Structure 1
């Protein structure tokens, strides 16, 4: 490998590492703010918080890395052009593809990392994150109860507490429990405490009423609603199983392996099968965009004549093209998840800009000289 290739690759690799880690840390910080209250107000361990939010990082890197590859390649080559280093390299006899070779090698490395992330690390980390999240919402439901707020514990249990002191005692409690089909229960209590049991958290209620509406069949075949009111001094309510599903959880497309996406189990709806198929193709094409975006950046930075103060124009054009491609990719992904016939568009979006950029880097062969000069 030539020394000039190592010179450019070193700049690209160091910049790519710094920008990717910095941007991923910024995204992680914004996303982790959703869970910081569990640490400050609900007693969740800081290590559990770090482990929970750290599981989000592989998915961040998988999305960010192709974008940062484009950004680093564009800015590095525009800077080389502004410093006239590209002029000297061309004068030394280097072709367009020889100039582009360091960026393509770095982009291929990024593509390999994205394949590892998309096909293995991201599904595993996302599944672990969803399991943690499910456990917090169900097995650790007591942490989520906030004073003065109607807190949904699962889908069929709502808890309200007027106040909560430093010892964890709740005051002015209202519970609406609809886990028993056709017989919802409303419980009012003066106070209560959340206790941990081997089966999960339970709330012990003191001095309250239990109101239940039941449907009663009459002798003539008709039915009426009957309100049953029970006064109690102490009652216990299970928060561990907030749903009738008793812990069963449907795993979404992001936490499934490629085999599960392409061959889902029986009972999966047609709508989910379409989502799974689109997710599988997006995982396969996502890493390819690292090379495609690098080619796009090279086409913008290396094409055209040298301009002493023209770097800003190339940056603007490249950024505009990149934003358009990202918006188009999001739209195609959403459409393909609804209609499987549009899945080829995912591959077209991932590959066509790269081929077009390679054609531009090659000097646009086959285009008349007049049109080629106008394009430049």
Structure 2
């Protein structure tokens, strides 16, 4: 028993260290590529590096939830393949360890990965993604308005550009020009001698004094000129930007499975249901993928020269399951009757691999006669 515990600790140490390094490295790589989309917020709107890192780091839990089942398979396959290549599995088999005892460390690692994926999918990712969307919304619609640079044409949105000649120590803006294209077929240009920034109902606005508003009607070609002593301008890009739409990734599991019919159209119910079942079933894929990796190494005869075919088949099997999962999600979003197939696709491969790996051991144990029922000599 002491040797068995030592072997388990030895394998678990390799599994968890490799899993942490692989998952962290892959998540960091995805974060780096995805965060490039927000570089424009730093370059164009002058956000600090701290705000940029704080914003993009909220996406990391969602990256980890996606890559964890895959990295669990890669790590399990790699560690057990290395143990087989170093003849360590051969020695353990010769010492009398059964396939279950050899795979126990991998089963523990797969179970931990599965539970962690459950926590990510059902709690951590929805909360972090909701905070990310809210933070991004505030930056684009409120914070950016306070980052107007002197002597620079600041593009707040595709429909609005603001120029400020200078800003004094009290925060007063001087020499303001606004190009406002938010109303279709009507372009307005606003000039003001001075102005100040305000937040009204969590929306950025600028109060301008002593200015004019020039507007051209594209249908008639007429120019309308309006002089004003005081005018308040909303700096959000459109009316729809005043209320942030919710994304399926930030909804709770209850909201996805049983959406409010007043908020969700019948056409979108299938997409929400698929997202909810994806959160429930994807943790099981971490366990199933790990079982595929262990079956590829532990089942079959030992080869002195190594066997690259079984690991290759395992990789192809996981790639096929990932493709099948995407196909089923796409089909189930259109026809909700197919949703149970997503659960079957996630669970059945793990059950099949467990039967292939441990069935012979169970049969052998069942054929043994307990000593308590043996006849006396």
TM-score (normalizing by structure 1): 0.80
User: For 2:300, which of 298, 304, 307 is the aligned residue?
Assistant: 304
User: For 1:209, which of 204, 208, 214 is the aligned residue?
Assistant: 214
Deviates more, 1:305-314 or 1:76-85: 305-314
Spell out, residue by residue over 1:270-300, the C-alpha distance to the aligned partner (whole angstroms, 9 max, x if none).
1222122111111111111111111011111
Aligned residues: 347
User: For 1:229, which of 218, 224, 228 is the aligned residue?
Assistant: 224
Residues in 1 aligned to 2:194 and 2:293: alpha-carbon distance in whole angstroms = 60
1:362 alignment partner, SS class: helix
Residues in 2 aligned to 1:246 and 1:134: alpha-carbon distance in whole angstroms = 9
Find out whether 1:279 has 2:275 as its counterpart: yes
1:141 CA displacement: 4.8
User: For 2:108, which of 105, 108, 114 is the aligned residue?
Assistant: 105
Tell me, yes or no, if the aligned pair for 2:214 and 2:223 is still in contact at 8 Å.
Answer: no
1:140 CA displacement: 3.6
Deviates more, 1:296-305 or 1:235-244: 235-244
Residues 172-191 of structure 1 mapped to structure 2, 5 A cutoff: 174-178=179-183, 184-188=185-189
Find out whether 1:137 has 2:140 as its counterpart: yes
Residues in 2 aligned to 1:103 and 1:144: alpha-carbon distance in whole angstroms = 52
Please, which runs of 5 or more residues in structure 2 have no aligned partner?
168-172, 362-377
Tell me, yes or no, if the aligned pair for 2:160 and 2:180 is still in contact at 8 Å.
Answer: yes
Residues in 1 aligned to 2:266 and 2:188: alpha-carbon distance in whole angstroms = 40
1:361 CA displacement: 1.5
User: For 1:12, which of 11, 15, 28 is the aligned residue?
Assistant: 15
1:290 alignment partner, SS class: helix
1:261 CA displacement: 1.5
Find out whether 1:318 has 2:314 as its counterpart: yes
The equivalent of 2:6 in structure 1 is: 3
Find out whether 1:332 has 2:361 as its counterpart: no
1:364 CA displacement: 7.5
Residues in 2 aligned to 1:252 and 1:290: alpha-carbon distance in whole angstroms = 25
The equivalent of 2:244 in structure 1 is: 249
| Structure (1/2) with the larger helix percentage | 2
Residues in 2 aligned to 1:192 and 1:263: alpha-carbon distance in whole angstroms = 54
Spell out, residue by residue over 1:5-30, the C-alpha distance to the aligned partner (whole angstroms, 9 max, x if none).
11111111111111111111111111
Residues 4-43 of structure 1 mapped to structure 2, 5 A cutoff: 4-43=7-46
1:321 CA displacement: 1.6
Pair 1:243–1:3, CA change in 2 (3 A):
same
User: For 1:356, which of 352, 359, 370 is the aligned residue?
Assistant: 352
Please, which runs of 5 or more residues in structure 1 have no aligned partner?
215-224, 366-376
Pair 1:188–1:324, CA change in 2 (3 A):
same
TM-score (normalizing by structure 2): 0.80
Find out whether 1:289 has 2:285 as its counterpart: yes
Pair 1:172–1:99, CA change in 2 (3 A):
same
Residues in 2 aligned to 1:24 and 1:212: alpha-carbon distance in whole angstroms = 51
Residues in 2 aligned to 1:192 and 1:300: alpha-carbon distance in whole angstroms = 75
Residues 147-162 of structure 1 mapped to structure 2, 5 A cutoff: 153=157, 158-159=159-160
1:42 CA displacement: 1.9
Tell me, yes or no, if the aligned pair for 1:145 and 1:159 is still in contact at 8 Å.
Answer: no
